[in-house]
């Protein structure tokens, strides 16, 4: 592989990864906001659970989800600083349930596909393994 | 934490006006919470380098602000040509250029041909569109390839702006032009020629005829002569005060609005007065200058309109500034409060 093809493959992977993460982040944020949090602590808790997310992505996302009615927010003082606390709204909870159901369905389907593929590959390998000695046998006869 | 304020000031420049204050309040709360958290973990205040590291993590001001735009608009033609990060700036520059083109082009056409046609305005407008779009498409390519928007230096953030500070350089500039106007208006010998020479150099001599001027002032000017002089002198006095004490106060802004309003009123009456320059009947071939007088009167009328628009804009900003300044307590009230 030349450096340019490696770079193109990396760019493509980054773009696809970004697309894959976009939907997952919404589910993660909604799931995490079952308990009330403000922007910074939410980012920290997501990161602690293995989902690192940029501030410049998370903070606007929270506002967007709130404008869509999935989150509710409230300004409150904590440690002598005013902070905006977000929590899942009733409609957000309903949408989260639906999204999780969809997530599990997709996950099961993909698992099944990967499993089938692995099975097929294994069967094919076994088939080839059985044929190879026969060929050797034929070759020896010549 | 001045660095945070400087960062927020820069983000503010690119934010959508409707939610600007709310977004800044929330962003500031999150950044400060992160800094508090880091300080608590370290058990000491953060150094400048540590503060910079947190700000760098947030992203460049332009990029951060672009993510808050509700609609991620782009200019696409099959594929994205101008992405959402620079699209708002593209629209701003394009609108400004098109407006300037559509304002300046008619003047040029009136001066050269004495008339304006829609078709003659189309070419400069299309040219502006093509040039600005090509430029921004190139910036987008660079952004995709080299991520130029991600590269920024928190140390190079502009210093905090004081909205009430008056720039002495601007005041000096205004004082110079107001004084030049006063000298011309009072018909101080040689003043008009000196001002014209300042702008046009030796070419000014062509506009200073030895004997008779082809154009004379219309009688309407006699009515407006003194009011204009008075308003200009009051403006000059305020510029002098601003130069000595370069900070806006509520009272000074109220005086500024009143003077701008008086100027606007005079502009309105001048506009309604009709032709402000007439062909001098004493010159030999007076009819030769009638089209020249027509062009000059047209330019004067358009200039008055532009002046009125600028004055209105100025009044709007001054009133906005007044509303944001807390009222200064009068000496008696301050004394009673102190008691």
Question: Domain limits at B46?
Answer: 2-65
Whether residues B116 and B228 fall in one domain: no
Name the residue with higher pLDDT: A5 or B53.
Answer: B53
Whether residues B58 and B85 fall in one domain: no
- Burial, B91: exposed, middle or buried (Cβ in 10 Å; 0-12, 13-18, 19+)? middle
Whether residues B79 and B61 fall in one domain: no
> Residue B29: its pLDDT value, please?
94
> Residue B211: its pLDDT value, please?
55
Q: Within a domain: residue B188? A: yes
CB of B84 less than 8 A from some CB of A: no
Scanning the structure block, which residue is given the tokens 């600028």? B310
Q: Within a domain: residue B189? A: yes
Domain count, chain B: 3
Q: Within a domain: residue B162? A: no
> Residue B335: its pLDDT value, please?
43
Q: Do A79 and B25 touch (CB under 8 A)?
A: no
> Residue B328: its pLDDT value, please?
55
Mutate to test the interface with A, among B30, B68, B72 (most CBs of A within 10 A): B30
Whether residues B186 and B319 fall in one domain: yes
Q: Within a domain: residue B333? A: no
- pLDDT mean over A123-128: 76
Name residue B216's beta-bridge partners: B278
Q: Which residue does chain A place closest to B11, by CA atoms? A: A56
Residue partners of B318: CB distance under 8 A and separation at least 6: B253, B256, B257, B260
> Residue B186: its pLDDT value, please?
84
Whether residues B174 and B308 fall in one domain: yes
Q: Do B36 and A81 touch (CB under 8 A)?
A: yes
Q: Identify whether the C-beta of residue B37 lies closer than 8 Å to the C-beta of residue A43.
A: no
> Residue B276: its pLDDT value, please?
86
pLDDT band at A48 (very low <50, low <70, confident <90, very high): very high
Q: Chain B contacts of A81, Cβ < 8 Å?
A: 29, 32-33, 36
Whether residues B31 and B111 fall in one domain: no
Q: Within a domain: residue B337? A: no
Whether residues B229 and B293 fall in one domain: yes
Q: Which residue does chain A place closest to B63, by CA atoms? A: A56
Q: Within a domain: residue B305? A: yes
Q: Specify the pTM.
A: 0.64
Size of interface A-B (CB pairs under 8 A): 52
Residue A55 to chain B, least CA–CA distance (Å): 6
Whether residues B209 and B304 fall in one domain: yes
Residue A12 to chain B, least CA–CA distance (Å): 13
Q: Within a domain: residue B161? A: no
Mutate to test the interface with B, among A39, A52, A67 (most CBs of B within 10 A): A39
Alpha helices (runs of H) in chain B, residue ranges in sequence order: 2-14, 20-42, 48-58, 61-67, 87-113, 118-146, 168-185, 191-200, 220-244, 250-272, 290-324, 331-338
Mean pLDDT of all residues belonging to chain A: 85
> Residue A130: its pLDDT value, please?
63
Measured CA to CA, the distance from residue B332 to residue B338 in angstroms comes to 10
Q: Do B36 and A79 touch (CB under 8 A)?
A: yes
CB of B68 less than 8 A from some CB of A: yes
- pLDDT mean over A53-64: 92
> Residue A9: its pLDDT value, please?
77
Q: Within a domain: residue B142? A: yes
Q: Chain B contacts of A63, Cβ < 8 Å?
A: 19, 23, 26, 68
CA distances from A73 to A24, A25, A70, B179 (A): 22, 19, 10, 57
Write out chain B's pLDDT in tens, 339 residues: 689 999 999 999 888 888 899 999 999 999 999 999 999 999 999 999 999 999 999 988 988 988 888 767 778 777 888 888 888 889 889 999 998 888 887 777 776 676 767 777 788 888 889 999 999 999 988 888 877 777 788 888 988 888 888 989 999 999 999 998 888 888 777 667 676 666 666 655 655 555 567 778 888 888 888 999 999 999 999 999 999 999 888 999 999 999 999 999 999 999 998 888 888 887 777 777 888 888 888 888 898 999 999 999 999 999 988 888 766 544 444 444 333
Neighbour tally for B43: CB within 10 Å = 6
Nearest partner of A27 among A83, A109, A107, judged by Cα: A107
> Residue B35: its pLDDT value, please?
94
CB of B141 less than 8 A from some CB of A: no
Whether residues B236 and B126 fall in one domain: no
What's the ipTM?
0.76
Going along chain A from its start, the domains and CATH numbers come out as 3-141 (1.10.10.10)
Last residue of a domain, one of B108, B132, B156: B156
> Residue A74: its pLDDT value, please?
94
Whether residues B97 and B224 fall in one domain: no
Residue B59 to chain A, least CA–CA distance (Å): 7
pLDDT band at A66 (very low <50, low <70, confident <90, very high): very high
Whether residues B187 and B263 fall in one domain: yes
Q: Which two tokens stand for residue A105?
A: 């369905």
As a dihedral over the C-alpha atoms of residue A42, residue A45, residue A51, residue A54, rounded to 10 degrees, the angle is 40
Whether residues B268 and B304 fall in one domain: yes
């Amino acid at each position: 592989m030349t450096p340019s093809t490696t770079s193109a493959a990396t760019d493509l992977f980054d773009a696809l990864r970004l697309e894959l993460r976009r939907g997952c982040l919404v589910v993660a944020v909604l799931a995490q906001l079952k308990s009330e949090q403000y922007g910074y602590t939410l980012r920290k808790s997501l990161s602690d659970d293995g989902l690192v997310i940029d501030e410049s992505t998370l903070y606007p996302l929270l506002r967007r989800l709130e404008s869509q009615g999935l989150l509710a927010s409230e300004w409150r003082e904590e440690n002598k600083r005013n902070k905006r606390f977000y929590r899942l709204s009733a409609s957000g909870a309903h949408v989260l349930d639906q999204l999780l159901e969809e997530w599990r369905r997709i996950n099961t389907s993909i698992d099944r596909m990967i499993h089938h593929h692995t099975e097929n590959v294994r069967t094919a390998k076994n088939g080839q393994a059985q044929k190879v000695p026969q060929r050797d046998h034929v070759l020896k006869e010549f | 934490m001045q660095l945070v304020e400087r960062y927020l000031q820069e983000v503010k420049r690119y934010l959508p006006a409707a939610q600007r204050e709310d977004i800044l309040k929330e962003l500031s709360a999150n950044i400060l919470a992160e800094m508090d958290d880091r300080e608590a973990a370290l058990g000491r205040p953060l150094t400048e380098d540590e503060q910079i590291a947190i700000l760098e993590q947030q992203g460049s001001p332009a990029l951060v602000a672009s993510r808050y735009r509700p609609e991620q608009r782009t200019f696409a033609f099959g594929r994205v040509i101008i992405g959402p990060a620079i699209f708002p700036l593209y629209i701003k520059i394009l609108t400004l250029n098109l407006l300037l083109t559509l304002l300046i082009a008619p003047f040029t056409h009136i001066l050269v041909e004495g008339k304006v046609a829609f078709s003659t305005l189309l070419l400069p407008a299309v040219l502006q569109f093509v040039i600005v779009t090509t430029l921004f498409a190139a910036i987008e390519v660079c952004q995709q390839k080299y991520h130029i928007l991600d590269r920024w230096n928190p140390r190079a953030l502009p210093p905090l702006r004081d909205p009430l500070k008056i720039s002495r350089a601007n005041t000096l500039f205004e004082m110079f032009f107001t004084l030049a106007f006063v000298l011309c208006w009072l018909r101080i010998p040689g003043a008009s020629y000196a001002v014209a020479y300042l702008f046009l150099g030796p070419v000014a001599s062509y506009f200073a005829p030895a004997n008779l001027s082809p154009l004379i002032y219309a009688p309407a000017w006699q009515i407006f002569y003194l009011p204009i002089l008075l308003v200009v002198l009051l403006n000059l006095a305020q510029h002098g005060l601003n130069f000595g004490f370069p900070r806006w106060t509520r009272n000074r802004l109220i005086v500024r609005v009143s003077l701008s309003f008086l100027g606007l009123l005079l502009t309105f009456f001048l506009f309604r007065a009709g032709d402000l320059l007439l062909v001098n009947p004493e010159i030999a071939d007076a009819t030769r200058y009638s089209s020249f007088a027509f062009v000059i009167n047209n330019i004067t009328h358009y200039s008055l309109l532009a002046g009125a628009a600028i004055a209105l804009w100025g009044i709007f900003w001054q009133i906005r500034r007044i509303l944001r300044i807390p009222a200064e307590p009068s000496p008696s009230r301050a004394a009673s409060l102190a008691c």
